[in-house]
Amino acid sequence: MEGTAKTTQALVSEYNRSSVLEYLYHNGVCSRAQLADALSLTPAALTKISARLLDTGIIEETGGIVGRKNRRSIGLRFASERLHVIGVKFARSLVQIGVFDLKGTPLSVTDLPDVTDETIPDAVRGVHETVGILLAQDPNVIAIGMAVPGPYLRTVGRTALVSSMQGWRRVNFLREFGGAFRVPVFVEQDARAGVLAQSLFSESADASNLAYYLLGEGVGLGVIDHGELINGAQGAATEIGHVSIDVNGRPCDCGNVGCLERYCSAVAIHHDLVEDGTIVPGAASMSHRKACMELFKASDEGDEAAQSMVESIGRFVGFGCVTIINAYNPDVIVLGDIVSHGGDRLLAAARRVVDERVLPELNDSTDIHLSDLPEDATILGAAAVAIDRFLDHPSDFLALGA
Amino acid sequence: MEGTAKTTQALVSEYNRSSVLEYLYHNGVCSRAQLADALSLTPAALTKISARLLDTGIIEETGGIVGRKNRRSIGLRFASERLHVIGVKFARSLVQIGVFDLKGTPLSVTDLPDVTDETIPDAVRGVHETVGILLAQDPNVIAIGMAVPGPYLRTVGRTALVSSMQGWRRVNFLREFGGAFRVPVFVEQDARAGVLAQSLFSESADASNLAYYLLGEGVGLGVIDHGELINGAQGAATEIGHVSIDVNGRPCDCGNVGCLERYCSAVAIHHDLVEDGTIVPGAASMSHRKACMELFKASDEGDEAAQSMVESIGRFVGFGCVTIINAYNPDVIVLGDIVSHGGDRLLAAARRVVDERVLPELNDSTDIHLSDLPEDATILGAAAVAIDRFLDHPSDFLALGA
C-alpha cells in the first residue's frame, strides 16, 4: 500500500510542477518568492521544484530582478525556445505541417498538395514523410499535435463526418499516427484545438470561460468552461456547426436539417457565390477559401452586393453567437478562420443579431471579437494541443524523476 | 508560509474525506480495506479519516461483512438518515418546500398557495415563515437548497428572465435568503438542480456525462460533463429552452426567436390547447400542469387528436434532443417534469427525430429515457443542491477538525 501513497505524492508533485510551469508560461520572469506566493507553495517546496525544472533546461535563471520589498532577486523564466512541437492541421482540402516553439512561434510551415477525396491516402503518406523528416532534422521536438475536422470521436480516433469530404472518415488518426513517430501524438477536433491556441497564445488568455468559433470550411466550436474544455462523452461536444438554426431548413450530410454550417461555412458561402455568379466572377473554379477572400475583398472595396452578402453571412454568424451564449454562457467568443476575414462589417452584423436576441444581462457580459492570432490559427491550434499536454503533464516529456 | 502548506494539507484531507463519504454514499456498506483499495489510500490514512467521520455520526460501523479473502471485517455505512436538508422549489406559479434525508427520502413536503405575479412578495414571506418553522422543529437540518427557474445568474443572485412571469426577476434569492437562516442556503437553476438529483438519487447515477432535460413550465437543461456541471461564466450555461430551433419562428420574452421553450413547455402546450379548444375542453381555466395532464390522459385513453398532439410535442422534444447531443454529447439524456408525463408515445416521437437527424455514431452511444425519479424531481433537485454541497465540503457542515 506504500506504493499508492507514493502515487498520490507523485500526482501532487506533478500538479505543482505543472502549476509552476504554467505560471511562468503566462506571466514571464518571476522570482521564486513571487511564484511561491502566487501558488501557495512553501519556499522549500518551490526551491525543490525549480531545481528539478532548472536541471532539465525548461526554465532558467535570469539576472537580478526587483522583487518583494524592492530587494533584488534572481528571476526564473520559461525557456519556451528550448523545446519544439510539430502541429499538423487537417482541413477538408488542406493539410499543413508546422514546427513551433512552446510559445507558438512558427519555425517552419509546410503546405501539402491540395487534397481531394481521391488523394487522401497520398496526403496521409505525405504527413508520415514530412513529419519523419522534420523529426530527423530537429531533436528538440517533444510532441506532435494534430487538429482534425469535427465531429471527431476522440475515443475511437476518427471523425464521424466531414461534410463534403467523406473520405476522411476512413482515416483512423490514432491508429494511423498514434505510434508512428519517436514522440507522442495528440489529436483534437479543430475548433477545440483553436480554443487551446487562444488560451495559450492570445490576449484573451485570461478568460476562464472562452469560446472559439471556427468559421472555416466547416463551422466548429471549442469551449473552455472554468478552465476546462467541454468534452462530452466521446469528445464530440460543442458541435455548433451541426446545431440546427431552422428545423425546416437546409438538409445537411450529418442527417440534421438547418445546420448552422449550411449557412455560414466557407463551403456554404462558396456555394452561394457560384449560384449568384456575379459578385465573384469565376467563383466556380476557385477554392472555398479563395472565393470567400474575393467576396471580402469586393466588400472592402465598396461593392454593394458583396457588402450585402457579407452582412447576410454576419447575421447567420450572429445566430450562432446567440446559440453559443445561451448554450455555454462564455465571457468571450473569438471568431476565427476563413470567414472571420469578413472583418468588421461581418462582426457588426453578427453583433446586431446578438443585441436583438440575447438577454441584456448575458449580452453585456459577453465580449465578441475577431481572432488576434495570425492567419494559421488552426495549425497553431494543432501545436497548442501538444503544448497544452506538455504544460499539464511535464513529467511525460522531461526527465523529472519521481 | 507554514500556513499555506497547512492549507494545502487541509485541502487534501477534505478531498479524501469527501471521497470516502461519496464512495459510501453510492456503494453502500464497505469495509475499510475495500475503501482504501477503491480510493488508493493507505490503510493508515483511511483509519484516520474514518475515525473522524465516525465521531460525527455521519458514518457508522455495521456488523461483520465478508471482505477480502473471505475474511469477515467490520463494515462502514453512510448514515444518510442522521442529517436532513430542506429543499425549496420555485416554479413560475408553484413554491414547494420539503424536508429530506441525505438520500433524498422525503420527510415532509408543503405546497405554498399558487403564486401569481402580484403575490410573489407573499410567496417570499411564506418561504421565510415555513422554512423558519421547519428549522425550529428539526435540529438535524444542516443546509437549504433552492431550485429556481433559469436563466439564473448565480453570481448576481437572481433570474435573468422567467418567461410569462417577470415578477420573479425582482427577487434576489441570495440577498433574500442567503443569510436568513441558521444554516447555509445554496441556490441553483432548476434543471441544473435536476441533474444533480439524477446523479445522486437515480439509476443513471453512474453516467459521468449526464443531461437532465427539464420539460416543465419552462424548458431547461442541466449537464454534467466528465463529473462536473457545465456552468458558464455567470452560471447561465445550458439554457436549452432559449436555444432557437427556428430563427424565423415564434418570438420569445427573452428577445430570441424560435426558442425551444415556445414549442414544448407546459406553458406553450397549454396555450395550444386553449387555442384548439376541443382536445381538452375547459383548458383555459386550468393550470398549465393540469391542462397538460388532461391532454396526456386523453391520449392514453385513445383520443386520436390528443395522440397526434402528443406526437407533435414529442417531435419538438426530439429537436431539443438533437441539439443536446450535438452541443453536449452526453451518455444519457433524462426527460423530466410535467411534459415527460407524455410517456412512451412522446418519447417514441422524440426518438424518431433523433434517429433521423443525429449521426449514427452519436445516436448509438446516447441513451434517452424518462426520469425514474418520483413526481417531485425538481424539489428533490433543490435538496440535491444542498446534499451535493455537503458531500463535496463535509467540513463546512461537520465538526471534523483540521
The model's pLDDT over A9-33, given as tens digits with 9 standing for 90+, comes to: 777 788 889 999 999 999 889 999 8
List b or e across B211-229, with b for residues whose CB sees 16 or more CB atoms inside 10 angstroms. bbbbbbbbbbbbbbbeeeb
Please check whether residue B228 is in contact with residue A325, taking contact to mean a CB–CB distance below 8 angstroms.
Answer: no
* pLDDT-derived band at B63, boundaries 50, 70, 90: confident
Q: Which fold has domain B84-195+379-396?
A: Nucleotidyltransferase; domain 5 (3.30.420)
C-beta atoms of A361 and B328 within 8 A: no
- Which residue type does B262 have? R
Over its C-alpha atoms, chain B yields an Rg (Å, rounded) of 23
Residues from chain A contacting residue B366 (CB–CB below 8 Å): 233
Calpha distance A18→A13 (Å, rounded):
8
Distance from CA of B234 to the nearest CA of A (A): 7
C-beta atoms of B245 and A242 within 8 A: no
Q: In percent, how much of chain B has pLDDT > 90?
A: 73
| Closest among B322, B310, B231, B215 to B272, alpha carbons compared | B310
| Closest among B148, B147, B172 to B158, alpha carbons compared | B172
Q: What is the pLDDT of residue A154?
A: 83
Q: Which fold has domain A2-78?
A: Arc Repressor Mutant, subunit A (1.10.10)
Q: What is the pLDDT of residue A5?
A: 44
Residues from chain B contacting residue A327 (CB–CB below 8 Å): 237-240, 243, 327
Q: Same CATH fold, A204-372 and A84-195+379-396?
A: yes
Q: Which residue in A has a C-alpha nearest to residue B353's C-alpha?
A: A256
ipTM of the complex: 0.90
C-beta atoms of A330 and B233 within 8 A: yes
Question: For the residues A264-269, what does the mean pLDDT come to?
Answer: 96
B6 has a pLDDT exceeding 50: no
Helix or strand (DSSP H, E) at B229: strand B228-229
pLDDT in tens, A47-85: 999 999 999 999 999 977 766 666 678 899 999 999 999
B1 has a pLDDT exceeding 50: no
Give the CATH class of B205-372. Answer: alpha beta
Q: Which residue in B has a C-alpha nearest to residue A150's C-alpha?
A: B326
Please check whether residue A161 is in contact with residue B359, taking contact to mean a CB–CB distance below 8 angstroms.
Answer: yes
A2 has a pLDDT exceeding 60: no
Cis peptide before B151 (omega within 30 of 0): yes
Q: What is the pLDDT of residue A326?
A: 97
| Closest among B46, B191, B242 to A4, alpha carbons compared | B46
| Closest among B204, B210, B212, B275 to B240, alpha carbons compared | B212
| Closest among B62, B71, B70 to B28, alpha carbons compared | B62
Helix or strand (DSSP H, E) at B124: helix B120-137
Nearest CB partner across the interface for A231, out of B226, B242, B326: B226
The grid coordinates listed for A178 are 498514434
Q: Could you tell me the sign of the dihedral formed by the alpha carbons of A158, A162, A165, A166, in that order?
A: positive
Question: For the residues A86-111, what does the mean pLDDT come to?
Answer: 92
| Closest among B93, B98, B96 to B119, alpha carbons compared | B93
Q: What is the pLDDT of residue B164?
A: 59
Q: What is the pLDDT of residue B297?
A: 98
A156 has a pLDDT exceeding 90: no
Query: HEC string of chain A?
Result: CHHHHHHHHHHHHHHHHHHHHHHHHHHCCEEHHHHHHHHCCCHHHHHHHHHHHHHHCCEEEEEEEECHHHCEEEEEEECCCCCEEEEEEECCCCEEEEEEECCCCEEEEEECCCCCHHHHHHHHHHHHHHHHHHHHHCCCEEEEEEEECCCEECCCCEECCCCCCHHHHHCCHHHHHCCCCCCCEEEEEHHHHHHHHHHHHCHHHHCCCEEEEEECCCEEEEEEECCEECCCCCCCCCCHHHCECECCCCECCCCCECECHHHHCHHHHHHHHHHHCCCCCCHHHCCHHHHHHHHHHHHHCCCHHHHHHHHHHHHHHHHHHHHHHHHHCCCEEEEECHHHHHHHHHHHHHHHHHHHHCCHHHHHCCEEEECCCCCCHHHHHHHHHHHHHHHHCHHHCCCCCC
- Which residue type does A52 have? R
Of the candidate ranges A158-167, A210-219, B290-299, B356-365, the one whose mean pLDDT is the lowest: A158-167
Which B-chain residues 17-56 have CB contacts (< 8 A) with chain A? 36, 40-43, 45
Answer left, alpha or beta for residue B306, where phi above 0 means left and psi between -120 and 50 means alpha: alpha
Q: Which residue in A has a C-alpha nearest to residue B12's C-alpha?
A: A12
Query: HEC string of A308-319?
Result: HHHHHHHHHHHH
- Which residue type does B211 have? A
* pLDDT-derived band at B4, boundaries 50, 70, 90: very low
A300 has a pLDDT exceeding 80: yes
Calpha distance A75→A29 (Å, rounded):
6
Q: What average pLDDT does the structure give for chain A?
A: 90
Question: For the residues B144-168, what does the mean pLDDT come to?
Answer: 81
**CB contact A322 to B (< 8 Å):** yes
Map grid coordinates 500526482 to a residue: A11
**CB contact B358 to A (< 8 Å):** yes
B160 has a pLDDT exceeding 90: no
Calpha distance A120→A158 (Å, rounded):
14
Half-sphere exposure for A305 (CA within 13 Å, toward CB): 10
The grid coordinates listed for A335 are 471568431
Map grid coordinates 483553436 to a residue: A194
Q: Could you tell me the sign of the dihedral formed by the alpha carbons of B169, B338, A242, A150, in that order?
A: positive
- Residue B220 has phi, psi (to 5 degrees) of -135, 175
Higher confidence at residue B161 or residue B134?
Answer: B134
**CB contact A244 to B (< 8 Å):** yes
Calpha distance B356→A46 (Å, rounded):
57
Map grid coordinates 466547416 to a residue: A218
- Which residue type does B241 have? G
CA dihedral B310, B314, B315, B318 (to 10 degrees): 180
C-beta atoms of B232 and A326 within 8 A: no
Nearest CB partner across the interface for A243, out of B208, B327, B366: B327
Q: Which residue in A has a C-alpha nearest to residue B4's C-alpha?
A: A40
Q: How far apart are the first and last CA of chain B?
A: 17
Please check whether residue A327 is in contact with residue A356, taking contact to mean a CB–CB distance below 8 angstroms.
Answer: no
Cis peptide before A151 (omega within 30 of 0): yes
Answer left, alpha or beta for residue A225, where phi above 0 means left and psi between -120 and 50 means alpha: beta
Which A-chain residues 143-172 have CB contacts (< 8 A) with chain B? 151, 153, 156, 160-161
Which CA distances in Å does A94 have to A262, B82, B194?
A: 20, 63, 44
Task: List Cβ neighbours of B344 (8 Å cut-off, separation of 6 or more).
Answer: none
Residues from chain A contacting residue B256 (CB–CB below 8 Å): 322, 326, 357-358
Task: List Cβ neighbours of B30 (8 Å cut-off, separation of 6 or more).
Answer: B23, B24, B38, B75, B76
- Domain A204-372: give its CATH code: 3.30.420.40
Question: For the residues B70-84, what does the mean pLDDT come to?
Answer: 88
Higher confidence at residue B153 or residue A334?
Answer: A334
Looking at residue B226, the DSSP 8-state letter turns out to be T
C-beta atoms of B246 and A248 within 8 A: yes
Answer left, alpha or beta for residue B95, where phi above 0 means left and psi between -120 and 50 means alpha: beta
Residues from chain B contacting residue A7 (CB–CB below 8 Å): 40
Spell out the domain ranges in chain A.
2-78, 84-195+379-396, 204-372
C-beta atoms of A329 and B5 within 8 A: no
Please check whether residue A162 is in contact with residue A169, taking contact to mean a CB–CB distance below 8 angstroms.
Answer: yes
Q: Specify the 3-state DSSP secondary structure of B169.
A: helix
* pLDDT-derived band at B153, boundaries 50, 70, 90: confident
Calpha distance A130→A128 (Å, rounded):
6
Q: What is the pLDDT of residue A3?
A: 37
C-beta atoms of A356 and B2 within 8 A: no
Maximum Cα–Cα distance across chain B? 75
List b or e across A361-386, with b for residues whose CB sees 16 or more CB atoms inside 10 angstroms. bbbebbebeebebeebbbbbbbbbbb
- Residue B47 has phi, psi (to 5 degrees) of -60, -40
